Amino acid sequence: MKFHKEGYPTLLLTILFSTIIITIAKLIFPEFAIAHWFAYTLSAFLLIVVLQFFRHPSRVHTINENAIIAPADGKVVVIEETEETEYFKDKRIQVSIFMSPINVHVNRFPIAGDVTYAKYHPGKFLVASLPKASTENERTSVVVKHASNGKSVLFRQVAGALARRIVMYCKEGDKATQCGEMGFIKFGSRVDLYLPLDTKLKVKMGEVVKGSQSIIAEF
């Protein structure tokens, strides 16, 4: 189990805050052991939360050129045919995965190929489960053209009420490796996939999936 690089600034702030509250507890309440224990307990709790959130577990990736692999851990909350208006401007199958704060928040490429589109959109921080979050919240949109069959998949990171930092590592012209690290979303959110209409879905509503391992659909 590794600690993700995106977590180091948060870890340093947590350690600094913990040092301050422990010092204050000892200076202001030198005779009250309960105040000291409270400061230690709070510090330990915050440290555990940060270490848990930014964990980066090693995994055996599912590599399959005919499959679209889950880009994130979480629960499937949307499966529907919809109009994708940003890039394709046509009908697509939307599959959305909700990531809770306890999920691993590393985001990965669902297929291998060429990154033909990559854009960051500033926006709101509505609850990620709302349908309009996909078009109104802070988000990124990445399109990868399949290396073999030429079909394209749009992958969207969507901020939520708690997510205040989206990190996208790719840009247009890059080569995407299936299950390779694409980005990170801090503190809970969702990811949307927009798939060609002729893809065969392999997941159901409410199903829990694992990033880089679960098969979402097949071409």
Whole-angstrom distance, CA of residue 70 vs CA of residue 109: 8
Active site residues: 189
Reading phi first (left if > 0) and then psi (alpha if -120 to 50, else beta), residue 173 is in left
Provide the b/e sequence for 73-82 (b: ≥16 CB within 10 Å). Answer: bbbbebbeee
User: In the beta sheet, which residues pair with residue 167?
Assistant: 184
Residue with tokens 């996909």, as numbered in its chain: 134
Angle (CA) 214 217 219, round 5°: 135
The pair of three-digit structure tokens given for residue 109, joined into one six-digit string:
């490429």
Q: Classify burial at 54, counting beta carbons within 10 Å of its beta carbon; exposed 0-12, middle 13-18, buried 19 or more.
A: buried
